[in-house]
Every structure is written in C-alpha cells, then in structure tokens.
Structure 1
C-alpha cells in the first residue's frame, strides 16, 4: 500500500460535480446570491438565495466547512487505534476514528491523514491508502470526508491536541470493535462507515 496524494481536498461549496450537470437541469436550483450568516471555529453557516425549478425564490442555510480526513489505523499486530473523545453536541464520550480538517499547508490528503493520526493519537503510520470519499450530510452541510486506511501504526510521541479537543487514544482488538459496530453499540457515523468500507473489501 502506498500514500494516495490525490488532492480532491478543495471541493466546491456544493461538494461535488453534480452542480451544473445538464442532466439535472429540471432539478437544479439557481444560486442568486450567497453569504455567511454566522462563523465560528471549524465551520460557517452559509445562506444561499436561490430560485427553485418552479421559479420560487427562497433562502437555504447550510453548514459550510473545509474537507476532512478520517483514518482507520491498524497496528502491526492488527489492532485498531481509536480515539475516545468528549462530544458536547450529544453530551457523552464517543469512541471513534482519528479525523480532522484538511489544512491549507497539507501537501495532499495523505499528508493530512498522517498529520491527524499523529496529532490525535501520537502514532505514525508506515503506509496510508485512500479508500473512499463521501458527503456525510449533504442535506444540511457541504462536508466532504476522505477515508484512509493506515497500516503499521506505532507510537511516536504524545498527541498534539487543539485547545478544544478532549481526546484519549486507545488501542483495541479490531474484531471486538467490528463486532461492537455491527451490534449497534457504536454510534459514531464516521467509525461505522469506516468499518463498513473495510469489511466490504478495502482490506
């Protein structure tokens, strides 16, 4: 496995190539104007003034955020490196995968995946491979998540967390984590999808 340096990081605000597709002309909304109504660390709330296919003019608000990477990291022994993180929105600690925003100085998506793995868990990967790209909530956000499989992950130092991250890295048996996902005991969407992709053939 090798690094995937394909840089699809800067998707347009619509999150994909479907906007402007002639085949979708009867469904497409025309954007008349766009602006930011609210901004905070991590994302903005964008307001688009749009014209619907029937001519109705209205507003549409959505979360506008940079693309992100999500990493499924395996140790040389086949265990998986996870993060236990407090999630204020749901009021509990969440067990999931290392993930984070692609930054402007990342050379490519593989670089971003390696950096997030190192920052959140203190682990370095021998290899990383891009697996899939999804739009996890494109009804309310333009989020784009790039999934990576990391192999040969070993401790290389302490995590380097942002001021608002409360994270504890843990290494667990992959089979046990997979079984917990399949049993519905893991609610983190990125972790569930990461395991599903891996089990579907990205091994």
Structure 2
C-alpha cells in the first residue's frame, strides 16, 4: 500500500496488518520521511469515539462510574463510546451513547471539539458534545461490559474540581469539561 499525506513528503511504502479485531487494527508501516530516510511505525487504527457532557437545569452533570478493564480500576467518566457503523455521524453516536448509558435524551446539542488520544500510538479521536434539555426516558441499554455502570449527577463545579485533581482521567471527559468551563457553558 502506498499513500502520501498532504503533500508533506511522508509516504507509506508498505502497510502490514499485524492484528485485527472488531474493535481495532494494529498496523506496521514502512514509511519514507520527508528527508528521504525510512522508518517503521507501529500504530493502532481505531474508530472514532464520542463523549457527552449532559447538563441538567440545576447545573448537575451525568457522570458514570464503572470498572475500566484496561486500566484495572473503577473510573469516573462522562457517558462515552465509539462511533458505530449504524451512526450517521459523531452527533448521532453521542445521542445513542447518552440514551444507552443513562436512559436520557436531549433536545440541545452543541459540539465542543475533538481531541486526539495518544496520537503517537493511535489515530483514535474523541468528539465531545454538550447535551442540554434532558429528559429521562427511564430505559438504559448497557452492553455486557457495562453491567456495573452507575450514573451519578454531580454539580458542575465539583466535576471541574475532579478534572483539576486528576480524578476524571478519561481524556475525552476532561477535555469536554474544560472546554465547556472555558466557554462559559458549565
């Protein structure tokens, strides 16, 4: 496979898939750098994800707590998940993830931005959204790995303090909270 990116002189001379699953792919690229030297780049190709900052009329935020297998600990994070093939776009995925994890829907949606996650390792990107005008539909649709997922409603100021204290380690969650705070949305 040969590919040139943005005319900047980088070229993948050969891409080999080292591992593939329904969740991600590990690739090894033999690449030509702009200076003419070659290098090998191992990286993970992953689908994009979404994170939802759902804020109710009392300035409380929906925050989940669950066991995160890869980190071997329970963590606080905002409702989040990957963009699936059934989703039209990241906002559609955000609507689905909010409903699945919390049972809530929202009438107001505002994109907060996109963050690259571990970009020396992966192409994974997380799209963050602010959700307002919340309605409790009362039905959650959790996946088997989310059986322990709890939903808590925390005051916005407490959530900002958690980010600053390192107690909300999920990159997309911290990004969404800080962007909303800086923009005066939280």
Whether TM exceeds 0.5 here: the answer is yes
Stretch deviating more after TM superposition (193-202 or 160-169): 160-169
Aligned match for 1:180, one of 140, 145, 162 = 162
TM normalised by structure 1 equals 0.81
- Bigger drift between 78-87 and 158-167 goes to 158-167
2:99 is the alignment partner of 1:106: no
Q: Is the 1:180–1:186 Cα contact (8 Å) retained in structure 2?
A: yes
Q: Is the 8 A contact 1:131 1:202 kept in 2?
A: no
Residues 50 and 90 in structure 2, CA contact (< 8 A), matched pair in contact too: yes
Tell me how far apart the structure 2 counterparts of residues 38 and 73 of structure 1 sit (CA, whole Å): 36
Stretch deviating more after TM superposition (185-194 or 97-106): 185-194
Name the structure 2 match of 1:169: 151
Distance 1:202 1:100, change over 3 A: farther
Change (3 A) 1:134 1:189: closer
CA RMSD of aligned residues (A): 2.0
Q: Which residue of 1 aligns with 2:46?
A: 65
Matched, 1:190 2:175: no
In the TM superposition, residue 141 of structure 1 has moved relative to its aligned partner by: 0.4
What secondary structure sits across from 2:76 in the alignment?
strand
> Residues 1-203 of structure 1 correspond to what in structure 2 (within 5 A)?
20-22=5-7, 25=8, 28-165=9-146, 166-201=148-183, 203=185
How many Å separate the matches in 2 of 1:164 and 1:147? 22
> For residues 74 and 159 of structure 1, what CA distance do their matches in structure 2 show?
18
Q: Compare the two structures and name the one with the higher strand fraction.
A: 2
The answer on whether the counterparts of 1:124 and 1:155 sit within 8 Å (CA) in structure 2 is: yes
Equivalences, count: 182
Question: How big is each residue's C-alpha offset from its partner over 1:79-108, in whole Å with a ceiling of 9 and x where there is no partner?
Answer: 100111211222110001111111222123
Q: For residue 36 of structure 1, report the CA deviation from its aligned partner.
A: 1.8
Q: Which runs of 5+ in 2 are unaligned?
A: none
